[in-house]
Structure 1
Amino acid sequence: MGVGRAAHVRICVGALTLTAASAALAELPETATTHAPREMHGVAALAIFGGLVAFAVILSLLHLYERARWTRRERELAGALDVLRGAHDRAEMLLNAERQVIVTWDRRSEPVVEGDISLAIYGERPTSGYARRVLAFGTWLVASDAAAVEAAVETLRARGTSFSLSLRTQTGRSIDAHGQAVAGRALLRLRETSQERCEIADLRATLDETRRGLSALAGLLDAIPQPVWRRNRDGGLSWVNAAYAAAVEAETREAALDGGVELFDRPAREAIIRDEAARAAGLTRTVPRLSAVVAGSRRMLDVFETTLDSGRVGIAIDVSELESVRADLQRQMNANVRTLDQLPTAVAMFDVSQRLIFHNAAYRQLWDLDQAFLDSRPSDGEILDHLRAERKLEEQADFRGWKHGVLAAYRAAEANQSWWYLPDGRTLRVVADPNPQGGLTYLFDDVSDSLNAETRYIALRRLQAETLDTLAEPVAVFGADGRMTLANRAFCTVWRLDPATVEERPHVDAVIAACRSLAPAEEPWLDIRDAVVGLESRTAQSCRLEVVDGTVLDCAAQPLPEGATLLTLIDVTASVNVERALTEKNDALEKAAQLRDTFVHHVSYELRSPLTNIIGFTQLLGDETVGALNDRQREYSDHIMRSSAALLVIINDILDLASIDAGSLELQREEVDVQTTIEAALRGIEDRLAESHITLALDVPEDIGSVHADGKRIRQILFNLLSNAVGFSDAGQRVEVRARREAQELILSVRDHGRGMPPEIADSVFNRFESHTLGTRHRGVGLGLSIVRSFVELHGGRVLLETAPGAGTQVTCIFPLFPFDGLQREHPERRPATTPTVIAARKPGLAVH
């Protein structure tokens, strides 16, 4: 195109030059031309004409050339326009292929927004003005993302800095924003990626879950004690767990892998491969157990190995103990079979398919069955049919329904008992007990003899009842369970009991409640109750009952065999006067007892001074101030010291009781810190706790505060309670000390988990010189609880005793937080009861929190 334009210019220049030359010749002076020949004029005219013609021809040619060139150019531009239109259509198709918006800025014109503008106006109908709303990022993006994209767009338009952001719309959709400079223009692309992000998030979550699962599985396999390994396709080890490395005695798993240390030898590994192939084919396992050296010892292992795409994985389970337990179980089962074979009760066991799997000799003899028939493992239904055919079962109107009911025991959850009456007169008690693993166990007990004996027993009882009814004296018999089994007519008449009530076998407590209205004295009834239901002793007892009508009855309780008790009553009204004549003698005896107590008090006081001297000189000997002692002498000195200290405590207790009885003991009241006082009492018992291996549990709140009381007596109370609790506790048990403030009262309790006390002992433990060992080595003079009760009552408090045989004992001391002395002097009627409350019906296992 450049060469054609140059030739065109040269032609135009030549034509213009020729035209100019012709014009110059025409303008020559006439004087000059007159001298030229006329021929020159013709030539010039001809040259001018030729130049014009040439110019016209050149112009025509140039016009034709340019027209052809512009026509060709027009065709080229039309083709280029078609190409651009196609590219534009393809760009629009790609732009609309997904939800996206493209915004373009140049330096002078307004931004151009193209694409799916509903991206920014989600849920609204688009209008002509919504295209610009795309750039109002704050109206459809969250505030932080809107600010970020606006700043990035500003930087892109100012400096051409590219950016890529992940944005979140106000409706929760995800948008990717990408900005860059293209051909001097700023271009922003907004594309919705909610679906892609959800898919990516799901894939990422799945990947994380898979990784966690693989990590957990790897950790589990590395933590279990069973060796686990993985082999590659060549059969070499590619991974082992820590148990495998320990089994082959490798320092680390890597050492086991690097050395290729195998747990099994080659024949065993080949057997494992064959076993895996057999299991894959559904055949029976060929390698039930393998022997291997695990950590230096020979063990029996159960090996499982399976083939995967990447190789094989396996695990070895140590079943050495299982084999030993299985052998022991087999021996035990054989012993049980031998034992059951010796039982007179017929036993038959059926499996879950109702087929006989075991029977003892008594079963075979009971039904007289052939051994060959039993060895064929017949079903339960077949045995019933066989017994019916042999006429060994009672005839049933609907045998099929009866049989269905018998076999229903296989579906029962609990044991079922029934009675079978055989044609030969025997009676069987049949127990069908479902087995935990399925199936049923039958127990056939021939109770014919026991039923006959029961019949004779009932007849004998009727004979005895008729015999007793003829007696004039009231007679009653109580069974081992404390229920009345027999009472004659005289007994019912004296106590006005309904014979129908006696037939219901009332308990001794119910009988006492019915009779107490006629004889209100409580102590005789307690003796009668103890004689009937007491477990401590089975000796004859007697008591006296005074009826409200003046009748006096002597009651005698005589133990009978098998735990029964015979109760007989005799009218002794006539001899009561004689008994009352002995009252003076009883008074004299009481005075003698009082003199005894006085004598003990005086003796204790006189013993205190020499005992103090003994303790002092013993301490001097023990301190070796007068010379060194050998081991035997030191042992004697310690023994003298401990015995003297124990005797001094007893003497002090006796003197304290004497002072209390005389009314001369006064409390030294002060503000006593409860927690400090408890800790001081505990220090005095620490050695006994250690010697007896008894644990002490202390439950005292830090804010328990103080109480206005005699601190020395409080410590003495706690020391006596702790000594008593330790004395009646066995090694390994626990003694609990608890303190609480409730309703203007301080509650201190000491509880042991020893043997506990029966009611008859619990009623007298607070009496002086009452001591009971209850089967323990603890033996005292019986003053500890008396001291406790006396000191608590001096403080205006009360004592509660909770105990039961086998459930331990808890003693609770309740002190008023206010001083009691003034209240006692001003209002004697408001003084608390001095009798300790005994709660002997506490349930075993009561815990103190």
Structure 2
Amino acid sequence: MNIGEARRKNAAHDRSMLKKLRMMLASGGSALSILLLSHLPAHAQDALGKITTPFGVEVGTFEVVQFAMFLGAMGAALLSAGWLIRERSRIAHENRRLRDKVADLNLTVQRNEALLNLKDQRVIVWEGASSTPNVIGSLPPEIGVPEARALFLAFGRWLRIDSVTLLDRSIAALREKARPFDIAVETSKGAPLEVQGRTSGGYAIVRFINLGESRAAQAMLKSENYQLNEAVTTLRGLLESVEMPVWSRDGDGGLNWVNNAYARAVDVRDPQIAIRDGRELFGAQARERIEREKATNRRFQDQLSTVVGGDRRIFRVTDVAGSAGSAGIATDISEIELIREEFKRTVINHSDTLDQLTTAVAMFDGNRKLQFFNQAFLKLWGLDTAFLESSPDNAMLLDRFRSDGILPEQQDWRRWKETVLSAYHSVESQEHVWYLTDGRTLRVVVNPQPKGGVTWVFENLTEKLELQSRYNTLIKVQGQTLDHLAEGVAVFGSDGKIRLSNPAFSSLWSLKREQIAEGMHISAIRRLCEPVSDAAHWETFVTTVTGFDDERQSLSGHIELSTGKILYYATAPLPNGQTMLTFVDVTDSVQVERALKEKNEALERTDELKNDFVQHVSYELRSPLTNIIGFTELLQTPMTGPLNDRQRDYLDHIGTSSSVLLTIVNDILDLATVDAGIMELDISDVSVTEAIATASEKVAGRFKEHNILLDIRVSPGTGSFRADASRVKQVLSNLLSNAANYAPEGSTVTLACWREQADMVFSVKDSGPGMPDYVLDSIFKRFQPYPNGGRKRGAGLGLSIVKGFVELHGGTVDIASGAGKGTLVTCRFPLEARTFSIAAE
């Protein structure tokens, strides 16, 4: 852009501005427009040109502007002066009004001050939260109110204590919660004052007014009413918060107030609903009982039960009747009753437990009276139960023990007793030892109780001390005994170290005494003993002593030393993990035992040969004997031809001898069968009468030959029993044959039978010469007949067979006899015999 073009632009801009100013001036522009024109550049002012006035005078544009400015300034000054005059008039009028109002307020203040400065009232004014109040007025000094401001505000110096508390609480409620009050207070001189509290705006005002006599009484009543209302409100607030049902009733017995706990107890949310609906906590019978008690005593107090929340609860109810109604409270003591019952059971169990103790126990209360004693205490001191149940004093008991001569005399009895009874004033247990005059020693423990009183525990140490003395003596005796035993003894602890040993142990293992000192480990002893013994045995000893098996077992056996000595060893577990090893030199006994075993084995082989021989011979003899008997009977028949008398006698002797020999062979074979354990019984129902008849027929000839009478006595109801019929008959035949052999001529043999519990009993009694006691021991031995008084000497197998067959049935055989007294043999068969039996050795 060149300079010429810039000038053209500026000139155009100036012309535009001038055009706008002319328009402003033509329209009567303001002083601001004139001010703007004054600040135009000179060339712009010249461009405005000249203006011709109506008077024909040409005036320049600038002069016009200046004149306009002057006129504007003069107009503004005139307007300002007018406004100032107007405002001044208004302010003067307001000042006159305010002066009048101030005058009126001054008059009011003077009048109020005159009223407040009366001598019968005084006012305290707090402004907002200020802690410094203004005090106005005065009260008569003769009623005890100080005149000084500081002393007056110190209410506690001139008011009664209860009045100070009430006033402070009321002033605090006035200032903090704007709660007005009208109360009456009393000075320390007894003069009443009415105190009024009010708030006005941000002020709290308290007025103290001196009262006349009538107004004072009215104020006091008003104060008391206020206090009572406050107390009732506070009390009801307290009762509302407790968890115990509380209620009050009017004169007609209806509910007029209940607390929240009462409402909850009767299952409602609001106490007013409980009052409106007349919800009763207790049933009709309980309420009738309460009313009867109140009608008589004006008061009811007892336990009642009711249902609350679906559970049966127990309450302690107190209901008091007044002039205008009644009030009651119920305390839930269900848990207390449960605890009380539990406590009673605990005390009973505790007493029962203490009664079972052998230690004497006595309990005294804080007044030193006996409250409890167990049976051990009663027995220890030998006192009467009635005397102890009378709760005697502790000091009286001690004097009683002294007078009975149980406690020994002390040098200073009074001081000794005070020392013992000082436990009632102590917090620590005391322990004494009493040596009674009868030789008993007691350990006495006096234990103070937390709630007063003491517990006496008497432990009889007499037996304990005697046992300790015996134990010490026993230990010494055992030590001496072990030292003199021929048996080697060594005791090892659970750690494998030796605890004790005797000299015999060292001697048996050829050890020196210092080699097995106490505390030496078993492994060291093993190294010393293994060279002369089997290592396996000492390995077992070490394992037994040091092992950790749950079940410790005893071991025993023999160990043979290289020196030819044979030791019998045994291990025995002891308490506390200890183990005892014992060794006995059994060299001689082992050698004797070995010899006896060899001899026994030889005897057993001999017995086996004997049994084999008997069985073989018996079987071999039976066949020819059967042939001899058969041919003898055949020769006696007519078909073989006639026989002379001598031949007939010879055949009779041959038949009789053959029959006897066959019986002996059969008996031997039966005994051999029993001994071998292979005999079987043919069990069936055995008729007692039939068995006796069969047996008596077999021996009838012998009885008749010697004129012996057989007396059979069978008890009624014997019936039958389960046994082998043939063996029972054989037993009875042998018994009768034995009796016939020993019974005198013309005598009587008695055969009796009866039931005895689960046995069938047979007895055979004869009046023969009997047998002495030394013979009874061997009467059942085989091949040992007793020839005293017998007509024939047999093989001695009859009673052996009897014993074998009866015992094979599970029964027993008894013999009662004496020289010159005859013999009684009794056999007992079980009613239900065994079907198979193996004979005893």
TM-score (norm 2): 0.41
State which structure, 1 or 2, has the greater radius of gyration over its C-alpha atoms. Answer: 2
